Amino acid sequence: MTSLPEGPNENKLEQISRILIDDSSRVPVSLWFASSVFWLLMGSVAAMISSVKLHHPDFLGNIEWLTFGRIRPVHLDIVFYGWSSMAAVGCLLWLQARLCHVKLPWPLLLSGLAMVWNVGVCVGVVAVLAGHGSSIEYLEFPAYCAPFFAIPALGVLAANVKMYVTKESQHTYVSQWYLLAATVWLPILYVTAMACTYFGLVQGVSQAITNWWFGHNALGLWVTPIAVATAYYLIPKVTGKPVHSYHLSLLGFWSLAIFYNWAGTHHLTGGPLPAWTITVGVVGSMMMFIPVITVAINHHMTMRGVFHMLKTSPTLRFTVFGSVMYTVASFQGSLEALRSHQEITHFTQYTIGHAHLGLYGFFSMIMFGAMYYIFPRITNNEWSSARLIKVHFWGSSIGVLAYGAGLCWAGWWQGMMMIDPGIPFLETVAYIRPYLIMRSVSGAGMTIAHIAFAISVWRILSRHHFVMSGPTLFTTARPAWREFVNEQEKREQAELEAQS
């Protein structure tokens, strides 16, 4: 249970094995990551269309395929299945191989599974746009899409277990627990929820509970553990400091496993369900303070004394931002589950603001940080431009903070107005409209950030753009891209001349 520091005094053998491990994961991890970045862009497009439609309903108004009720679930599904899940898989494969000190098994199979997953997202998106969606949040894709996700999920589970069982490292690091658990939970969650939803295994309002048992756990038991595991790995790795407390991380893991499971029914507060199901959800949500506080203490204490590194390291800055947002969004989420709070904010934009603080501010930011760390190692290349990374960081962070704060504020007052029957409903609509416009603006900032990120990823993956001169930090001044290419061409020209 140490932090596996990557220092000058570690032995050569370990360095070589590390290079071999990174080599083995090059193709599959690059494929899962590159696909996720593609879906991130697609998800941003769908997000912008739905966001603009909400304040200008006549925008692309007469195209049935792009009506709000279709493009909005398409946004959610692209972001969840395409971006988040694919980024999470790439991250977990690489992390588990590194932590187990074994090569990634079956690279060809895992690459194939990435393509199967991509086909699943494509088919699902077209189906929802064509009107075959189910209108069940997070499970909109029709039943025939299920094998495209269930089979790769089982394959990833098998690879993960195989690595863990054959591990060469002597210790189990806390991240490995999270990674193992997440891959066990996902197939169970997904297959059970799809079966209940599409084959009528449960009746009446139990369908709604199944929906939120899946919807909430898909975030809490699939993407959250992977992001927490990643932060647990990256923060000590980049700072070179060990994790603060082993016992806390153990407590954090098992309390997440036990309590997050039960929290989903708070999405149905006030609904036509037995009161005890909601109470269980509220209790589960309140108990989430335990895992969240333990992770917060552990990460904060690890960072103590090295906060200055946030100035230089992109990986660390994204990851620590995400880690802080985990605490913020989780505290908010726990309080939001209370009945007195839900009376106001349920059914309003507040929920949307919270969802983005969680899935974007916390999860996506940590994934960005991880990709900034992992891509150079699996491609043997460096990031081409510190400026692009800066654009990415500031666009994403300011964007999501403005988005979350704006919508939570607007949602709160929207809810207060809805409680008061003296205020006509259309006045609540008029009240939130300026905030919906503000949401489009902050969304545009995030989209610009994603474009900058995608350019960076494209360059690091493309063989023409080798940058070999040390890691790219925020303070690294690289020549402007054109100049850089020119220089490189000149250098190659000179080499050619020297040879002839």
Instruction: Name residues contacting other proteins, limited to 56-85 (CB under 8 A).
Output: 57-58, 61-62, 64, 67-70, 72-73
Contact pick of 114, 125, 189, 328 for other proteins (by CB under 8 A): 189
Candidates 82-90, 96-104, 339-347, 400-408; binding stretch for other proteins (CB under 8 A): 339-347
Determine, following the binding rule CB under 8 A, whether residue 271 of this chain makes contact with other proteins. Answer: yes
Contact pick of 117, 148, 164, 453 for other proteins (by CB under 8 A): 164
- Which of 276, 273, 284, 265 is closest to 215 using CA atoms? 265
Determine, following the binding rule CB under 8 A, whether residue 206 of this chain makes contact with other proteins. Answer: yes
Q: In the structure encoding, which two tokens stand for residue 326, read together?
A: 């985990």
Min dist. Cβ of residue 74 to other proteins (A):
10
Nearer to other proteins, 133 or 322 (CB): 133
Under rule CB under 8 A, which residues in 346-375 are in contact with other proteins? 346-348, 351
Contact pick of 88, 196, 366, 449 for other proteins (by CB under 8 A): 196
Nearer to other proteins, 15 or 169 (CB): 169
Nearer to other proteins, 260 or 326 (CB): 260
Min dist. Cβ of residue 301 to other proteins (A):
25
Q: In the structure encoding, which two tokens stand for residue 277, read together?
A: 């199901």
Determine, following the binding rule CB under 8 A, whether residue 272 of this chain makes contact with other proteins. Answer: yes
Cα 116 from chain centroid (whole Å)? 20
Min dist. Cβ of residue 242 to other proteins (A):
21
Q: What is the largest CA-CA distance in the chain?
A: 87
Min dist. Cβ of residue 342 to other proteins (A):
9
Contact pick of 32, 33, 94, 213 for other proteins (by CB under 8 A): 213
Determine, following the binding rule CB under 8 A, whether residue 429 of this chain makes contact with other proteins. Answer: yes
Grouping H, G, I as helix, E, B as strand and the rest as coil, residue 79 is: helix
Determine, following the binding rule CB under 8 A, whether residue 200 of this chain makes contact with other proteins. Answer: yes
Round to whole Å and give the CA distance between 320 and 315. 8
Q: What is the DSSP string of 352-414?
A: HHHHHIIIIIIIIHHHHHHHHHHHHHHHT---S-HHHHHHHHHHHHHHHHHHHHHHHHHHHHH
Nearer to other proteins, 55 or 101 (CB): 55
- Inter-residue contact 318 to 383 (CB < 8 Å): no
Determine, following the binding rule CB under 8 A, whether residue 270 of this chain makes contact with other proteins. Answer: yes
Contact pick of 273, 297, 401, 437 for other proteins (by CB under 8 A): 273
How many other C-beta atoms can be found within 10 angstroms of the C-beta atom of residue 424? 10
Looking at residue 56, the DSSP 8-state letter turns out to be: S
Min dist. Cβ of residue 268 to other proteins (A):
7
Nearer to other proteins, 57 or 305 (CB): 57
Round to whole Å and give the CA distance between 465 and 463. 6
Nearer to other proteins, 93 or 452 (CB): 93
Candidates 180-188, 362-370, 444-452, 474-482; binding stretch for other proteins (CB under 8 A): 180-188
Round to whole Å and give the CA distance between 77 and 69. 13
Under rule CB under 8 A, which residues in 37-56 are in contact with other proteins? 53-55
Contact pick of 98, 267, 439, 459 for other proteins (by CB under 8 A): 267
Nearer to other proteins, 322 or 404 (CB): 404
Determine, following the binding rule CB under 8 A, whether residue 202 of this chain makes contact with other proteins. Answer: yes
Which residue bears the tokens 């925008």? 59
- Inter-residue contact 435 to 350 (CB < 8 Å): no
- Which of 138, 75, 150 is closest to 264 using CA atoms? 138
Binding mask 405-424 for other proteins (x = CB under 8 A): -------------xxxx---
Determine, following the binding rule CB under 8 A, whether residue 312 of this chain makes contact with other proteins. Answer: no
Q: Nearest 5°: CA angle at 152, between 100 and 257?
A: 60
Binding mask 122-161 for other proteins (x = CB under 8 A): ---------xxxxxxx-----------------------x
Q: In the structure encoding, which two tokens stand for residue 124, read together?
A: 């699902």
- Which of 150, 154, 134 is closest to 190 using CA atoms? 150
- Inter-residue contact 475 to 312 (CB < 8 Å): yes
Overall size of the chain counted in residues? 500
Determine, following the binding rule CB under 8 A, whether residue 425 of this chain makes contact with other proteins. Answer: yes
Angle between helices 85-100 and 365-379 (to 10 degrees): 50
